[in-house]
């Protein structure tokens, strides 16, 4: 349980004269579900994009799955999965075609792809819509599909950027079951969310304010530290410190 898969030190991203992410330092351990909270504009997405190798940091250090964030982005990419805030599978491809495509891109063998896609479609209950264009799926199904595709190649870490935005409570529940399942297989889950009930499901939480990490602990200890009954309250107390809007 002690293997560290994400380690950052003073990671910073500056756009012009705006410091989006301000020297964040933290560690994430293998198999953890790590919640990454913060109000809109606190810098979560920017931080996550840096960790995924989509955005080059202005300064600071970080290693993902043991690889350097500056020099080894392509090696990092082999070991991570990513699900962006904006739905980004191909809407003009069918469910099956999307699965096969990304399987192929991640270098899975044909047999693996066939097995995986069958298993995936079974697991998600998408059998009837396997040949439907993704554009025609309801949002909740799309999100589950996105997630499954993101972990299809058994990455060490999966990054989820507000994966359950706009989804009904039941589907969110099912979604979190998928997350637990993945964590159970040893995949580290790095997730941002606005739902505080979801935050409770995480092993550890960090809360970002104005590009900095204000607090980092288990939900239980955070509540104790801020003398709050719920994560909701913790979040309000911390988010209120924000200077920028």
Confirm or reject binding of residue 139 to other proteins (CB under 8 A).
Answer: no
Q: Which tokens go with 148?
A: 């499954």
Confirm or reject binding of residue 154 to other proteins (CB under 8 A).
Answer: no
Stretch that binds other proteins, among 82-90, 200-208, 216-224, 230-238 (CB under 8 A): 82-90
Handedness of CA 50, 55, 60, 65 (dihedral sign): positive
- By CB under 8 A, what part of segment 86-115 binds other proteins? 86-93, 97, 100-102, 104-107
Nearest distance from residue 83's CB to other proteins, in Å?
A: 8
CA 29 – CA 2 distance, rounded (Å)? 6
Phi-psi bin for 34: left (phi > 0), alpha (psi -120 to 50), beta?
beta
Letters for 51-70 (x = contact with other proteins by CB under 8 A, - = none) are -xxxxx--------------
CA 93 – CA 217 distance, rounded (Å)? 41
> Would you say 52 or 179 has its CB closer to other proteins?
52
The residues, any chain, with a CB within 8 Å of residue 89's CB and separated by 6 or more, are 98, 134, 142, 145, 146, 149
What is the binding site for other proteins (CB under 8 A)?
Answer: 49, 52-56, 73-75, 77-78, 80-82, 84, 86-93, 97, 100-102, 104-107, 133
């Amino acid at each position: 349980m002690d293997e560290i898969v994400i380690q950052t030190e003073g990671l910073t991203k500056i756009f012009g004269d705006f410091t989006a992410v301000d020297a964040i330092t933290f560690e994430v351990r293998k198999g953890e579900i790590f919640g990454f909270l913060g109000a809109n504009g606190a810098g979560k997405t920017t931080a996550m994009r840096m960790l995924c190798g989509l955005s080059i940091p202005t300064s600071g250090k970080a290693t993902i799955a043991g690889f350097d964030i500056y020099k080894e982005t392509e090696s990092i990419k082999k070991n991570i999965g990513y699900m962006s805030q904006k739905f980004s599978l191909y809407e003009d491809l069918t469910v099956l075609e999307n699965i096969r495509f990304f399987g192929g891109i991640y270098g899975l063998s044909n047999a693996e792809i066939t097995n995986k896609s069958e298993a995936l479609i079974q697991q998600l209950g998408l059998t009837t819509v396997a040949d439907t264009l993704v554009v025609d799926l309801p949002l909740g199904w799309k999100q589950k599909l996105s997630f499954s595709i993101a972990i299809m190649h058994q990455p060490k870490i999966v990054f989820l950027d507000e994966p359950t935005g706009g989804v009904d409570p039941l589907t969110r529940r099912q979604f979190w079951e998928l997350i637990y399942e993945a964590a159970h297989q040893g995949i580290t889950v790095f997730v941002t969310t606005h739902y505080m009930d979801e935050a409770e499901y995480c092993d550890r939480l960090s809360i970002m304010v104005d590009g900095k990490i204000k607090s980092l602990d288990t939900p239980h200890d955070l509540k104790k530290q801020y003398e709050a009954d719920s994560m909701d309250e913790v979040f309000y107390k911390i988010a209120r410190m924000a200077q920028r809007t």
